Amino acid sequence: MPELHFPWIECSILLPLVGAAWVWMLRDRERALTHAIFFCLATLLLTLGECADFLWMETFEAHDHWAFFRWVIPPDVLVIDELSAFQLPLASLIHLVVVSSTLRTKTRTFSLESTLVSQSLLLAIFSCRASWALVALLIVSTIPPYMELRRRRQCTRIYCLHMATFAALLLVGYGWLSIADRSGSSVLVPGAMLTVAALLRSGVFPLHLWMTDVFNKASLGTAILNTTPLVGAYAVMRLVLPIAPSWALQSIAVLSLVTAVYAAAMALIQVDARRMFCFLLLSQSSLVLVGLELVTPIGLTGALCLWLSVAMSMTGFGITLRSVEARLSRISLASFHGLYSQMPILAGFFLLTGLASIGFPATVGFVGMELLIEGAVEVYPLVGTLVVVATALCGITVLQTYFRIFTGVDNRSSISMKARPAERFAVLLLTLLLLGGGLYPQPGISSRYHAAKELTRIRGEISGKSPTPVTTVAQQEGLNPET
Amino acid sequence: MNQQELFVQVLGAIAVASPVVLLAVLGLTQLLNRPLSELWIVRLNQLGVVLSLFATTLVLAVMLITGERNLPIEFGNWVTIPEQAFHFHLKFVFDRLSIPFMMLSCVLCGVVGEFTRRYLHREEGFARFFLFYAIFFDGMVWSSLAGTIETLFVGWEMVGLSSALLIAYFHDRESPVRNGQRVWVIYRLSDAALLIAAITMHHMVGEGDFGGLMNSSIWPDGSVSVSSSQALLVGALLLIGAAGKSALFPFSGWLPRAMEGPTPSSAIFYGALSVHLGAYLLLRLSPLLEASVALQGLVLGLGAVSAVSGALMSRVQNDVKTSLAFASLTQVGIIVVEIGLGLRYLALIHIMGHAILRTMQLLRAPTLIRDYQDLENKIGTPLSPNSGTALGWLPKPFQRWCFRFGYERGFMDTVLQRWLVDPFVRTFRWCEGWEQLITSSLSRSEKADSEINHANAANDSPSDLPTAA
């Protein structure tokens, strides 16, 4: 396997851990916040370097050069490939903007140490190719939110119940799979277990209650960091996609599609802004899952593009909501708050990220959404149109929320509520990426299509079949006039 | 590419790019918190409109001189995946349909922009108005010149967003905001139909190019190479999209709500351009209508019902802007009937004439009483009240029903609310109730969720920041 020119992967995983230890030693929380931002920024630069180095090599996968832990970790465990190359900087970016937009008053309730540990775990998950290590990391990554719930003295039963099931299914499924004969039908049951585990982590209906619970009880920052990188989707890509037959995946896609519509409709009737955000994210992440499970090159490309778009835009949407919450406390959508005159930049950014999350034209998600709809309609000519319905409902929710929070009454305070420089930095960084990716989408689309093709090829090799295009339901039924 | 083609390409690029640059400048200055002065905003707006109009006029001159009837401006593929035959083609077309509509858009946007300069002078939201106005102008240019359905969809969405935001322009009051939201709901749902139509069209003919759909014929000629049932499917979806955008039956309920916005935006949206965009779409795809008799019947029926209901509603409204809006609906309904009958040039001329007249009427609406007084002063006698209507010969009970139908705006809002919105909300509130029940029973929490929220809010609220809400 080709080697990167620097041990980017291990450095990017270790640095947040060192940062967590460093921040923990600092007594002054304001300084701790500044240092945490520095560590997040340095990690982002490392992952960007990793991504650039990988792209420069023009290969499908690569691992670290001069790895420090070669004597402990086998060389093929931490690997960067076309799927993870963009996820790693994205995960770092999400952490950077969340940490940098944290108000000083929030450092008591938002644990910086725990956030840096979570970042390290997330980067390790996205860099991990070996299934056993991935299973272990996925299970360990459920601990930081649990710790925060405990710290906040909230009931953890729902979270524990779901995550214990997730861990059990992962362990049993993976254990069973490793002793089963992969060529026969004996992989179906362990495959189903792994699928349910991944769907549970993604919050697919009706296994989504843990997500609403986390949004309700944890700090909004932790909830955002734990959900927007779409770790569940990554688990589907690594653990389920290589082994599951196409018919099974395409059947699960219908479940994800139902979740997308259900969550979009639920988001529309919420009166609590956090729950609204949770359902909106659930709907969008389910659409990503739909694309992944279609296993057609177009659907996969759309899903991979949408993945980046949803992660960025929903993080932006979330941090704006968090900034508003930090000034006003929990936001009720039952009444109007009229905050536009006090925070016009945050209002504009809220609208922009909301529109980006639904794939509005000229934002990064637009082409990804088009591809996804195309892929869904190709496989399921009628059911596939539900993607459009889900997007329409999400669009209604976004503007409704914008109106509720920023308009409706004349609300003026004597104290400035405008965005702080750190918040403005986070906002502008994401705006640049959302609009830049939307106006010049070709490089991103080409890269994601290449990744989709390689993933399809690997899937074909693992299942012992040639990587021929997947026969869609529409083609089987002769409904597609193009066939 | 010869010099003439290059010249036309450059002109086309200027026509399309100048609204985009205008939007980028206005958007970036607001996002970076570097507000421009009113004078700069107006000057930039004038420059954007004039450049677009000038370039379009020159293209028209070239077409008249050379006798060309169709000049495509190719920007190539914005996105392409050659192996999957997927491409998002950026193509704009100057032809007998797009040029008049584009020039109409530029002229009316320029006029209304100038009107707004004084109308909103020193208003707090002056810059915001022109930002949304730039989005609208961009959307109109893209929709007018679109050579593919994807390009049209981009413009279509921009018009919809700017429309909702401008209705909610006076956003320190609840009513405009609620009405903006209502209009956005209708737009989103009808846009969903348009998007499905676009995808279906792609699957039918393998591309979204209007030229490809019409067998490379030039508007208004052309025939489509799809079966009658396919034409009916795509056409019906397009009709829903058009009905939503043009407030045709049964979506007319949003039209009076849209009048909550400032007068200039009401004039340009609901008197002139936006309200005709649905008719323009039908006109652009009019050869598709001929492929299916059922579809033609649908178009005729929808146009006729919209025209009659618009006429009834406009006669009983008690404010001039709403009355004018419904009068617009009547004319748009008639235009749709003309399209259904295949009278394409007549429909195009009707759109242009009606848009100009209605813009003038809506812009004069705030000074209507003064205008009447001026008129009376000049003729030296009071104007005689309207003594009778054409409906006078109808039976009294039917007249009363017509009045109620018009006054209640065709009961359309009530029907949509009762049969669509209420069941939707009830169903998902029921689901919400179940979710809350399961959550509280699983967590064995004695506190209700609302109490938890309240407690969290208390924990989270900072001590050094005010609670403004």
Tens of pLDDT along A202-233? 999 889 999 999 999 999 999 999 999 999 99
Chain A partners within 8 Å of B86 (Cβ): 298, 371, 374
Each residue's pLDDT tens digit, A295-340: 888 889 999 999 999 999 999 999 999 999 988 888 999 999 999 9
Contact B462 A345 (CB under 8 A): no
Contact B188 A395 (CB under 8 A): yes
By C-alpha distance, the chain B residue nearest A366 is B154
Structure tokens at A248: 């099974």
Measure in Å the smallest separation between the Cα of A295 and chain B Cα atoms. 14
User: Looking at the complex, does the CB of residue A478 fall below 8 Å from at least one CB of chain B?
Assistant: no
User: Looking at the complex, does the CB of residue A438 fall below 8 Å from at least one CB of chain B?
Assistant: no
Contacts with B11 (C-beta within 8 Å, 6 or more apart), sequence order: B55, B56, B58, B59, B62
Contact A392 B32 (CB under 8 A): no
User: Looking at the complex, does the CB of residue A3 fall below 8 Å from at least one CB of chain B?
Assistant: no
Residue B448 backbone zone (phi > 0: left; psi -120 to 50: alpha; other: beta): beta
Does position B70 have pLDDT exceeding 90, yes or no?
no
Structure tokens at A281: 């994210």
| pTM as predicted | 0.91
Residue B457: what pLDDT? 45
Instruction: Select the residue of B31, B454, B469 nearest A411 (Cβ to Cβ).
Output: B469
By C-alpha distance, which of A442, A120, A54, A87 is closest to B78? A442
Measure in Å the smallest separation between the Cα of B163 and chain A Cα atoms. 12
Contact B168 A407 (CB under 8 A): yes
Are the C-beta atoms of residues B218 and B70 closer than 8 Å to each other?
yes
Are the C-beta atoms of residues B157 and A360 closer than 8 Å to each other?
yes
Structure tokens at B365: 């609406």
Contact B164 A399 (CB under 8 A): yes
Chain A partners within 8 Å of B124 (Cβ): 341
The ranges of chain A with pLDDT < 50 are 466-483
B70-81 and A79-81 beta bridge pairing: unpaired
Each residue's pLDDT tens digit, B140-162: 999 999 988 888 999 999 999 99
Instruction: Select the residue of A270, A391, A480 nearest B203 (Cβ to Cβ).
Output: A480
Burial of residue B319, with CB atoms counted within 10 A of its CB: 0-12 exposed, 13-18 middle, 19 or more buried? exposed
Does position B445 have pLDDT exceeding 70, yes or no?
no
Each residue's pLDDT tens digit, B98-146: 999 999 999 999 999 999 999 999 888 899 999 999 999 999 999 999 9
Measure in Å the smallest separation between the Cα of B273 and chain A Cα atoms. 20
CA gap B63, A18 in Å, rounded:
69
Structure tokens at B43: 């000057």
Contact B460 A109 (CB under 8 A): yes
Residue carrying structure tokens 């890269």: A447
Chain A partners within 8 Å of B192 (Cβ): 388-389, 391-392
CA gap A266, A146 in Å, rounded:
26
pLDDT band at B467 (very low <50, low <70, confident <90, very high): very low
User: Looking at the complex, does the CB of residue A158 fall below 8 Å from at least one CB of chain B?
Assistant: yes
Handedness of CA A344, A348, A351, A357 (dihedral sign): negative
**Side chain identity, residue B253:** G
Are the C-beta atoms of residues B361 and B284 closer than 8 Å to each other?
no
Residue B386: what pLDDT? 66
Structure tokens at B459: 């924990």
Helix (H) and strand (E) counts for chain A? 20, 2
Strands (E), A66-215: 79-81
Residue B425: what pLDDT? 94
Measure in Å the smallest separation between the Cα of A230 and chain B Cα atoms. 23
CA gap A304, A295 in Å, rounded:
12
DSSP letter, residue A463: T
Residue A62, strand partner residues:
A80
Residue A410: what pLDDT? 85
Burial of residue A28, with CB atoms counted within 10 A of its CB: 0-12 exposed, 13-18 middle, 19 or more buried? exposed
Residue B388: what pLDDT? 60
How many Cβ atoms are within 10 Å of B114's Cβ, its own excluded? 15
Contact B466 A481 (CB under 8 A): no
Biggest CA–CA distance in chain A, Å, is 71
CA gap A356, A352 in Å, rounded:
6
Are the C-beta atoms of residues B171 and A340 closer than 8 Å to each other?
yes
So what's the ipTM on this one? 0.90
Residue A223: what pLDDT? 94
CA gap A117, A99 in Å, rounded:
13
- Percentages of chain B per state (helix, strand, coil), in multiples of 5: 75, 5, 20
By C-alpha distance, which of B177, B369, B135, B154 is closest to B269? B135
Instruction: Select the residue of B432, B439, B459 nearest A109 (Cβ to Cβ).
Output: B459
How many Cβ atoms are within 10 Å of A25's Cβ, its own excluded? 9
Are the C-beta atoms of residues A98 and A315 closer than 8 Å to each other?
yes
Handedness of CA B184, B186, B192, B194 (dihedral sign): negative
Residue B411 backbone zone (phi > 0: left; psi -120 to 50: alpha; other: beta): left
